[in-house]
Each structure stands twice: as C-alpha cells, then as structure tokens.
Structure 1
Amino acid sequence: MDDARELSRRTALVLGGGGVAVSALTLAGCAPSSGSAGSTGSTGDSGAGSDGSTGSDSGGGTTDAAGEEVAALSDIPVGGSIGATIGGAPVLLSQPTEGDVVAFSAICTHQGCQVGVEGGAFVCPCHGSVFDAATGAVEQGPALDPLPSVAVMVDGDRVIAG
C-alpha cells in the first residue's frame, strides 16, 4: 500500500479520541444542572425552567387552569402579597391597591428557585434577587429579567385564574 494514503493506528486513535471529546462536551451542554428544571426541594428549587416558565407557556401563566379559584381577596392584604398555586405551579399574588390583584410566577428568572414573599417584596432565597411585588420588576440582581406575570381576575371576593 501507498504510505501517503495509509492512516497509522496512532493517528486514527488521536483523531477518534478528539471526536469523542467534542461529542462529550456537546452532550454536557444539554444536561440539566443541579437546581434547574426537574428538581424540587425546600431550598426553593422548583420544577420550572430558568426562563421563569412554569411549564404551561413561555409567559409563566397556566392556561389550563383558567377559572380556578386561586385565593380569597380578603386573604391578600392591601399593599401586601401571598404565595399560592395555579394549576399546581407556584405564584405570588399582590394587592397593590384595594380590589386590584396582580400575579406573577414564583420562579426566579435567574436560576429557577422558588421566590417568596418577604416584607413588601418578592425575594429569591437562593441568590438574593429582589422583585417589586406590584410589577414583578427586578429591584436587585443577580436576576436580570422580571418575574413573568400570570393572568388573574377578581370576581367578588375571589381571585380567579384567567
């Protein structure tokens, strides 16, 4: 055989090993990291993605839970907030002014931890992001994106998913 066209065993192993390394690195980028989608626990991790979605749609809302009673209006103090669920997904409800209720996904847009009510704001226990309770806007990072709003409406003394 012609030596110029013959591939040595050593060259084949080196080239093949490089392809394996590239493939492994590519697949590693697809694996979920700890604290992201699929994990649950008392530290605030939830089954939501890092984009803040709750699995139903990209806006963090739960379209399949429309009409579900979320809370009694009297449970949400005027100027205050509570945690609740819509379609099994954690949400935060605020009543900035009497009779006006807003809701946001309780999943932090930084790394998917569950955000809670703390004082007059929403606070992520994992990395300290703080969100405005009336708008969902980031007040303190590391989160860069606001909490996605979730559609709700007031019907008498009931807050209904909408």
Structure 2
Amino acid sequence: MSAAQEHRIVERRTVVLAVGAVGAAAALTACGGSDEAGGGSGGTGGTDPVEQPGSGGAGGAVLAKTADIPEGGGLVFAAQKVVVTQPTAGEFKAFSATCTHQGCAVKDITNNVITCPCHNSTFDAATGSPTGGPATQPLPARQISVEGGAITLA
C-alpha cells in the first residue's frame, strides 16, 4: 500500500469517527443524559421558541405582560428556562421549563397541561405535578412577581 493510500484510509477513518461522535452528541442533547433537570428551550402550542422583549435572564427582568399569557395555557421562556402559566383567570404560576424525566425543554401548554415533546410527559399547569409518564417528579416551582400587568422573575 502506498503512502497516499494509507493517508486516504486515515482521513476516511477520522471523518467516519468524527461524524459518529457528532451524531452521538446530538442524540444525547435531544433527550438529556440523566433524570436530573438540565437545559433546554421551549415554545408554545407546538411552535418555535418564544422570544419576548425584556427577557434578559436576570431576576427582575420583565418576562411578559399578563395579557400575553392565555388562560389555561402559558408561555415558555427559553433563555430563563421557565414556563409561566395562567391556570385560572388572574392566577399566574411559574415552573422550571426543564422536564424532570431527562432534561428536555417543555414546549406546549394547552388546556392546563404542560407537555414535554421528547417523551410526552405531561404536567399540571397549576401545580407542576406530573400527570402522565414517564416523568415522575414535578417541575420545580419558580418565583415570579405579578405587578401592574407585568410578570417578572423574583
């Protein structure tokens, strides 16, 4: 075998290994690596992630206006990893937007149910408690402040 042929074999092998590693990393990122809470993004109603003005990430930043949160629904704020819901008129709740099953970001909030798209775990929008598997732990509550029609992280 010539030196040029050996070089091509090494290059091909290196490419195949690199592509395999990237694929494995993508698969782990999609579902998280453990049952602990991790990072993620989210959206509402099965749409792309929601970007809201004034969503800077620090406590005290305005997440949304109360009028932006639909009754029986909610919004996911990907940058803050928080989901804000309105289970009943005028009642606002906030939870971690990271599914307790394998760390995916919850996405859909409809009919007072928060859904994780990765394995279809569901959570009660008023309590964060799991209502359908495979998640068995509730979404951790997050502290918010609702004043003057604005919702902020506390």
TM-score w.r.t. the length of structure 1 is: 0.60
8 A contact 2:38–2:104 mirrored in 1:
no
Q: Which has the higher helix share?
A: 2
1:136 aligns with 2:128: yes
User: Could you tell me whether the CA contact under 8 Å between 1:99 and 1:154 is conserved in 2?
Assistant: no
Are 1:79 and 2:72 an aligned pair?
yes
Aligned structure 1 segments of 4 or more residues deviating by more than 4 angstroms: none
Q: Which amino acid aligns with 2:72?
A: G
The amino acid of 1:125's aligned partner reads P
Question: Residue 94 of structure 2: SS of its match in structure 1?
Answer: strand
Structure 2 counterpart SS, 1:82: strand
Q: Secondary structure at the match of 1:149?
A: coil
The alpha carbon displacement at 1:124 in A equals 1.2
Which structure 2 residue ranges, 5 or more long, are not aligned? 1-24, 40-56
Paired amino acid for 1:101: F
How far apart are the structure 1 equivalents of 2:26 and 2:35? 11
Superposed, which structure 2 residues align to 1:73-112 within 5 Å?
Answer: 73-85=66-78, 88-112=79-103
Compute the RMSD of aligned alpha carbons.
2.7
Equivalents in 2 of 1:75, 1:101: separation in Å? 11
- 1:49 and 1:127 map into 2 onto residues whose CA distance is 14
Identity %: 38
Q: Which runs of 5+ in 1 are unaligned?
A: 1-31, 55-63
Larger-gyration structure (1/2): 1
Q: Using the TM superposition, give the Cα deviation of residue 112 of structure 1 relative to its aligned residue in structure 2, in angstroms.
A: 0.4
Q: How does 1:7-156 map to 2 (within 5 A)?
A: 34-35=27-28, 39=29, 50-52=35-37, 65-85=58-78, 88-120=79-111, 121-156=113-148
TM-score, with structure 2 as normaliser:
0.63
Number of residues of Structure 1 aligned to a counterpart in Structure 2: 113
